[in-house]
Amino acid sequence: MVEVLALVEARLRSALGEPDARAAVTFLGTDRIEVLRFVDGDVVRYATLGMSAHPMADPTAALADPVKGPRAELVLSVRAGLADTDKALRPLAVLAASPQVEGVIVAPGASLDVGEPLWPGTSFSSVLVAEPGGLVEDLDLDEPMDPVHFLPLLPMTANEAAWKRVHGGQELQERWLAHGTDLRDPLRRSVTLN
């Protein structure tokens, strides 16, 4: 576990630079989850560290495999200085702990909801999990372990989350693209959904 997390942190540093802050959260019955903050010009990136320590297990499986199974970390990118986005550290840790706490597999296309605003003054309480491989490349681990995917998180308003449940994540992403939505804007409003 420690070796995997050391490799994950090294991959994050090589892709995003040196973190300028980190916070750790431990939930009852779970391993420690850290959130690292990276500043790149006018963009702040928050990356979890700890979610990939163990593979995510199928909640219907009788026994969880301690070696094989999907592994991931979460990455959120927002514009700096527009909102108090550092308050997103705890909600991100909650999302990263969800495979251990709730027995879910976090994968592209999934919606994750924290039930409260991601940071003060925002209408975002959920995120859409996007495809990995763009910002931070997958990290291959020794066989038989699965690679670690770095999954981008796209904040959604309540209306967008409801629309996504009906139409799907791909349709929502296409709507954002068609309207030129700045998904890094921590103060943005919901995209037009009619």
pLDDT per position as a tens digit, 57-79: 877 776 777 788 899 999 999 99
Cβ atoms 99, 56 nearer than 8 A: yes
Kindly state whether residue 84 falls inside one of the protein's structural domains: yes
Confidence of residue 110 (pLDDT cuts 50, 70, 90): very high
- Let me know: does 121 contact 185? Beta carbons within 8 Å: no
Residue 150 located in a structural domain: yes
Quote the domain boundaries for residue 149: 2-178
Q: Residue 121 is encoded by which pair of tokens?
A: 């003054």
Residue 111 located in a structural domain: yes
Mean pLDDT, range 144-169, rounded to an integer: 95
1: pLDDT strictly greater than 70: no
Q: pTM for the whole thing?
A: 0.93
In a domain, 85, yes or no: yes
Q: Is 121 exposed, middle or buried (0-12, 13-18, 19+ CB in 10 A)?
A: exposed
Contact between 150 and 72 under an 8 Å Cβ cutoff? The reply is yes
pLDDT higher than 90, residue 51: yes
| 14 domain-assigned | yes
| Distance (Å, whole) CA 52 – CA 189 | 32
In a domain? residue 38: yes
Q: Is residue 185 part of a domain?
A: no
Tell me: cis bond preceding 144? Omega within 30 of 0 counts: yes
- Count the domains in the chain: 1
190 lies in a domain?
no
